[in-house]
Structure 1
């Protein structure tokens, strides 16, 4: 059991207000108790001066109860009725459950709740005499405010623990130091040596893995450097393309020369064909004349 008197007020635990909060302003002053007043004697009504007047508004109260029930439902705990005050027993059981979520175990709520809320710097006034009838129309809004605030505090704490746990799980050095220290303060020297050997073994494997990656990267680096040197020593892309262009231009000139030669050959052949045609026509005329002379003679 963790006593409330051993905790110091922690301002960082105060969660951010819900969106409904910005529609209203709390009634009285919002200054926090100093460490001196924390230790001084005070009447049974504790808090930092805020009242639960905001939670007398039906719309805001309904919104707060929805948020409370969403949290309780996610933890499979009994829900609060949305449209009426629950029984006094349900209210005290809900308070005990939320305090337990914050690592405060209370066996007698009427004796512990005031000091616990004070140690947490609860921003709402609380009078422990109201625990005798917490579900009356006059008292219920104050308990909605306190329960809603405790829910936000529990959600913030769970989120903080989850993020811290995730960070620790991903940090082998942190986990080694933590487990080793816990074994040390428990006087379990054998466990400390076992953790040392296990961690050094993992560290050796990680070192070999890193060295292998370094060797692969060095080989890749050398290959890239060789390619870069070849590119620097050889012709540039422009020079290579200009050389290809020069070769193609030479080929074009050769093709033009061949075309010229073919054109000249075609002209010679056409001229010879024309001469042959004329010769044939002359021979045909001569044959016709010879045939006519024969017929006449």
Structure 2
């Protein structure tokens, strides 16, 4: 953990030996378990007015009265309101029945409230424990032992109810405080700062560095976990977006059903068109067949009429008289008749050929009708109507209704109508399902928006963590660069000092050589000077000895003269002084 290192001694970290033992003993080391985050958070966020409203003699709120006025528990309405609050908190464990509850229930309620606020009473000394707990908690309401002995009387019930109401409010506040503290997220930064400054004040640099490393590693792990969670959420969001794009881009179930309905409707229209076409062809063929039958009947009638005429002519011939002219005429008429008969036979043969051709065409058309009927039956099977109907071609029928069968109008059309109604019902149900799917899609869109908002919040947290990590990395890089620069500078200084030392060593070697040479010269010169000085010293000693002898002689002479002068002065004093009389 880095702290400011500005000018002055306020930001400088003190070494271990910089603190006196008394200061170290006076500042105990704080353990992480000794600093609960809940207490720190509540210490910074708790309002003093909450405690004052519960423990002061002027509560912030009252039951049934205005703000700032103490509740009057002698009032029936106030008692009922306070009793409702107490019962609402104690139920279903216990219920006090008004207006004057039983003494046993009141004592049980007091015990339960004391247990809720972590003041479990003793059965033997319940009254003393209750009064002591109220005194410690600062309860503004006073209660006596006599009131506790008979709490259900009209005289004792108001103060007992006031105490119950106050304990209930205090217990509710304690529960709310505990729940909010339990739900509060841990404040690692506050704990880290507190522990770091604790170690800083105690001068424990190793603990500070260990705490810094632990917090940085934990921050990196939290950042990596947040990044992993963010990537997982981003991947989930991409999958949801892909699913939404797939649902929005692809055809919906309603559109698919509508397309299927259109396909089935087109198939029905095609089938009806084919049926109409073949019905028209069958009608045309039936009309042609009727015309041919009429022609055949006319030819048969002509043949019968011709045969009748021939019989009549034969009868006439038998009844007439025969002569040559008549024979010739008859012969000519017979030739004409034979020619007519031959022509009639040729026409009959041609008509028979036409009849055979028509019969072959009818057989072909019947086969085609059977093939078309088979196709229609297969189409009906694909449609799956409610009533099983199939076309059965009757080759012996003389009308379209007889050929196709009577069940076309009585069976197939109602089945097709029922199928159309069922298709309409399916379309309506599909429309309802499409509406439900639309609602589900809207719900999915809302969920996606919520996920996007969560992702944005996580992105914000991730950006903050990344910015913080980048800041830490920047500090680390700056420290690294600074240390590298210091190392490079120290290396340069060492190289300079080494070069200077080398030059100094070289100069010292040269100076040593010169000094040795000068020393030899100086020794020689000193020897010479010593010899000269010794000579001078001997001469000086001789002169000193002579001077000493001279001085001793001089001093002796001076002492002698001094003694003589003293004797002379003493003699002068004795000569000049008068005699002294000594009286007895």
With structure 1 as the length reference, what TM-score do the two structures score? 0.48
Q: Which has the higher contact order (CA 8 A, sep 6+)?
A: 1
Higher share of residues assigned helix: 2
